[in-house]
Structure formats: C-alpha cells, structure tokens
Amino acid sequence: MNKYLFGAISIIVFVLGIGVGFFLTPEYAAMKTEKGSGMKELGNADGFIDLRYMDNMIAHHLSAIVMLTQALEKSKRSEIIELAKAVIQADTQGIAQLYAYKKEFYNDTREITQYSKVNLGDGDELFDLRLINALIAHHDEAIASAMEMRTKSTRTQILTLADSVIQALSSNKDQLKAWRKTWYNIDSI
C-alpha cells in the first residue's frame, strides 16, 4: 500500500474514532459543555440520545450527592439535613436504575467518572444559602435537559424519567426558594 493512501486512511480512522468516542464515551462528552455548566449538550435525536441523557443524569446525581454530603457535614438546619438524606438515597437509587437502563438499552456498562464536584465552602452562617443557590442552578440544568428529552426520545422509560425529573425538581426548587426567602430574605439571584 502506498504511504499516502496509508496516511489518508489513518487520518480518516483517527477522525472517525474521535467522533464515535465523543458520542459514546462520557470522558469525551465531558469536554463539550454548554455555558460551562455540569450538563452536556445532548445533540441530535439520534440512536444514542437516550444514552447521552442517561450519562448526563448519572453525572447530575453524582454531583448532587457531592453537594448534599457536604450539607450532612456542615449544615445545622434539620430541614437541609433531612433533604440531603432523602436526595442522597433517591439519587443513589436513580443512578442504579440509569445504569440498568444503559445496560438494557445499549449493553453499556461504563461508569461515569467525570462530573461536577462543587465545593460549597465552610459550614458558616451562609453555607445553606450557598447550597440552596447551587441546588437551584443544578435543578434548572436538569429540568432543561429533561424538557429537551421530552422532544427527542421515543423510549417510554426515558420519557417517564424526564417527566418525573421535571416534576420532582420543580417542586424541590420551589421549596428551596421558600427557604431562601424565609431564612435569608432573598427572593432571587
């Protein structure tokens, strides 16, 4: 085989490998974020849209667990501690379900290792405010992603998941805003 043909084929294979890797590998997808957020762009409604969404939601849950573990250690408010316990338990179960769906739908057993690990700082008098603000922004990202999936997915399980994400996080966001108003007299940021 001539060296130019071999070089051209090598370049094509390399470019295709990057393209496939981007869509199938969470580490590649982590390089492309929207506005610096923790959620990745979902892209076109192709055969891998559900996989990208599930990977996003696993990363989203892992990030929430990091924030809420800090709340267990640093918050002094019983409401925040109870919320943290409930969400950590629910998100742990949600992660297990998402991994099961990934295996069932795509035979994909790769674990998500890259996700946002927000450090909320010291357990001072503003810790809960920082947590609330971070969770509201975190919820907004997941709600937007779930709303996008409602128009892109055709899988009943994913559509049901997106609807439950929208409902649960919208409700939780309302609670967080009420606490912020009551505890800090702040309506919005």
Residue 177 lies in a domain: yes
> What pLDDT tens digit does each residue of the chain (189 aa) get?
565 554 444 445 444 444 434 443 333 333 333 334 467 789 999 999 999 999 999 999 999 999 999 999 999 999 999 999 999 999 999 999 999 999 999 999 999 999 999 999 999 999 999 999 999 999 999 999 999 999 999 999 999 999 999 999 999 999 999 999 999 999 887
159 close to 149: Cβ distance less than 8 angstroms: yes
pTM: 0.79
CATH number at residue 158: 1.20.1260.10
Give a yes or no: residue 96 inside a domain.
yes
Beta bridge partners of 33: 40
Please, where are the H alpha helices in the chain? 3-24, 26-29, 49-74, 78-106, 127-152, 156-184
Structural domains in the chain (count)? 1
Q: How far does CA 121 lie from the centroid of its chain? A: 21
Other beta carbons within 10 Å of 21: 12
| Domain interval for residue 97 | 33-184
